[in-house]
A and B are shown apart, each in its own frame.
Chain A
Amino acid sequence: NAGVTQTPKFQVLKTGQSMTLQCAQDMNHEYMSWYRQDPGMGLRLIHYSVGAGITDQGEVPNGYNVSRSTTEDFPLRLLSAAPSQTSVYFCASSPTGRNSPLHFGNGTRLTVT
């Protein structure tokens, strides 16, 4: 099993550009989530999903969209990138979410200039 796979590993965007960070898991986990990690800020929850067709906002959802059309995939979309979105983004999954540990991908490092 590959676990949680994030692509790309690195990305540089110009302000105003759009892009999608991809996340896929092969563990048949119901729960998936996106975090961003900034120096000294820990991991902050952007969006999460408790199952296919269901998404909800986390602590810092502004500027990001998500969808969950399949159990396996949970893409994160930046519609108009801003320098404040420069960060490391982590996708995670777990069998049930709130009562089981998260499995993390290795992250996408995004720079917005």
Chain B
Amino acid sequence: GESVGLHLPTLSVQEGDNSIINCAYSNSASDYFIWYKQESGKGPQFIIDIRSNMDKRQGQRVTVLLNKTVKHLSLQIAATQPGDSAVYFCAESNRDDKIIFGKGTRLHILP
């Protein structure tokens, strides 16, 4: 529920603007990265993924950028809509089969 979002960094974006959510990952051996969206009271939902042999991948209104040099991942959402309001998590995966999540960012849409 709502308590999940307490103490999370918040990004406030005007409706219609582009949103950029950033994530630093920890393991240089990670080779698969995923972005999830979590709405209040629900489990996380898959948005987009990228493998380490790529540096950019586009979906519908979303783009993921991967910078392996500085271990940084970003999610860009074009023309942000009220329905994009949620908590966004990045996750990383490596050969030990563990999928590890970042702490999350709350996206708040301003009317």
**Does A33 make an interface contact (CB < 8 A)?**
yes
Q: Which chain A residues (20-53) contact chain B, with CB distance < 8 Å?
A: 31, 33, 35, 37, 39-45, 48, 50
Query: Is A42 a contact of B97 with CB atoms below 8 Å?
Result: no
Which residues of B sit under 8 angstroms from A104, Cβ to Cβ?
43-45
Query: Is A101 a contact of B95 with CB atoms below 8 Å?
Result: no
Residue of A nearest to B32 (CB): A99
Nearest CB in chain B: distance from A62 CB, A: 16
- CA distance in complex: A109, B3 (Å): 11
Query: Is A102 a contact of B99 with CB atoms below 8 Å?
Result: yes
Which residues of A sit under 8 angstroms from B13, Cβ to Cβ?
none
- CA distance in complex: A99, B4 (Å): 27
Nearest CB in chain B: distance from A1 CB, A: 15
How many chain B residues have a CB neighbour from A under 8 Å?
31
Query: Is A43 a contact of B6 with CB atoms below 8 Å?
Result: no
Nearest CB in chain A: distance from B109 CB, A: 21
Residue of B nearest to A35 (CB): B101
- CA distance in complex: A41, B7 (Å): 9
- CA distance in complex: A56, B89 (Å): 23
How many chain A residues have a CB neighbour from B under 8 Å?
31
Query: Is A97 a contact of B97 with CB atoms below 8 Å?
Result: yes
Nearest CB in chain A: distance from B18 CB, A: 24
Query: Is A43 a contact of B46 with CB atoms below 8 Å?
Result: no
Which residues of A sit under 8 angstroms from B99, Cβ to Cβ?
33, 45, 48, 97-98, 102
Residue of A nearest to B102 (CB): A42
Query: Is B8 a contact of A40 with CB atoms below 8 Å?
Result: yes
Jot down 20 A-B pairs with beta carbons below 8 A, ordered by A. Answer: A33-B99, A39-B4, A39-B6, A41-B103, A42-B89, A42-B102, A48-B97, A50-B97, A59-B98, A90-B43, A98-B95, A98-B98, A99-B32, A99-B93, A102-B34, A102-B44, A104-B43, A105-B43, A106-B41, A106-B42
